Amino acid sequence: MDGSAATLKPGDTLVVASHNSGKVREIYELVAPFGLKVISAAELDLPEPEETATTFEGNAAIKALAAAKASGHLALADDSGLVVDALGGDPGVQSARWAGPGKDFGHAMSLVEDKLRARGATAAQRTARFVAVLCLASPGGATESWRGEVEGTIVWPPRGTQGFGYDPFFQPLGHTRTFGEMSAEEKHGWKIGEGAPFSHRARAFAAFAAAKLGAR
């Protein structure tokens, strides 16, 4: 954290510092009830900064700061990934890179599965978690971040066509369906003021909303 990014109010502009359409869509859905003017870094044709940090917090800050300084507006970045215990935490912050330049997450899921099988992982050793860190940055360089996690297991073959990324082969703890088999509302697990956040991104967003949007 470096200083404190400003609180947002209805009508304010917020740049979503991402070129990932699935991630942008989810953040739009979460931000929608608050009356902000939301635009993505892709819509502004902002360049994608190189993500050189070794933590989710570090990479989220890199993206948020780059978008805030380039746009002159507050920017919200998400850095997230799949952490698989039997793989020593991989793919972790490299989750998107495992999908390659073509963002082929079918390939990425197959790669994770191949590595689990190569290690002889049992059903009990297929534990994993999704991690999301949201970072809000101001054009002046102040940042704040919030982290959310959800525990689960890796299933094979992948199931479902909802969501994006690794969603089809992550089954959250206590559920029989993967994120890929859940609607956006089910995956988030909440509406503003109704119930508790469910997904990793919704949990991080709940903390952000309480701090910066006046949500309780």
Which residues make Cβ contacts (< 8 Å) with residue 147, sequence separation at least 6?
A: 56, 57, 131, 132, 133, 204, 207
| DSSP 3-state percent helix, strand, coil across the chain (nearest 5) | 35, 25, 40
- Can 114 be counted among the known catalytic residues? no
Cα separations in angstroms, 140 against 29, 47, 63, 144: 27, 19, 14, 13
Contact present, 61 and 78 (Cβ < 8 Å): no
24 φ/ψ angles, rounded to the nearest 5 degrees: -60, -45
Catalytic choice (78, 79, 90, 167): 79
Distance CA 74, CA 116 (A): 41
Decide if 160 contacts 168 (C-beta within 8 A). yes
Q: Which residue has the tokens 């502004």?
A: 44
Active site residues: 79
